[in-house]
Amino acid sequence: MATLGQNISALRKKRGLSQAQLAEKLDIGTSTLGMYETDKREPSYETLSNIADFFNKSVDDLLGRKSNSASESDLDEMIDNAHSYDGKPVDDHDRALIKQYLKALFSNK
């Protein structure tokens, strides 16, 4: 099972962000993020929540806990694999909308 730091690092790299870029987006220091990624320091709950929100993940996902719903993790994985549509990049806002739409669609079936 991956650690919190390993999960943050993997998500950051998957988005193509440097530590400095992610730290700036989260309003934390680059060295602080580096310590999180190497598991030398743990983020506060507020920071952990901000990281989860940034990556459209649950805190449980970041901590490596199993989701109660396989469909939830399937949905996250599907959205993570959507890098662009019709040549246009999918940003965080688009990802959140897609997730809301698909949850509503599948919950009505």
CA dist., res. 91 & res. 93, Å (int): 6
| pLDDT of 107 higher than 90 | no
Domain residue spans in the chain?
4-63, 70-107
Tokens of 49: 């929540």
Average pLDDT, the chain: 85
- The whole model's pTM is what? 0.63
18-66 pLDDT, tens per residue? 999 999 999 999 999 999 999 999 999 999 999 999 999 989 889 988 6
* C-alpha count within 13 angstroms, C-beta hemisphere, residue 3: 12
Containing 20, the helix (H) or strand (E) segment is helix 19-26
* CATH architecture assigned to 4-63: Orthogonal Bundle (1.10)
Report the chain's C-alpha Rg in angstroms.
15
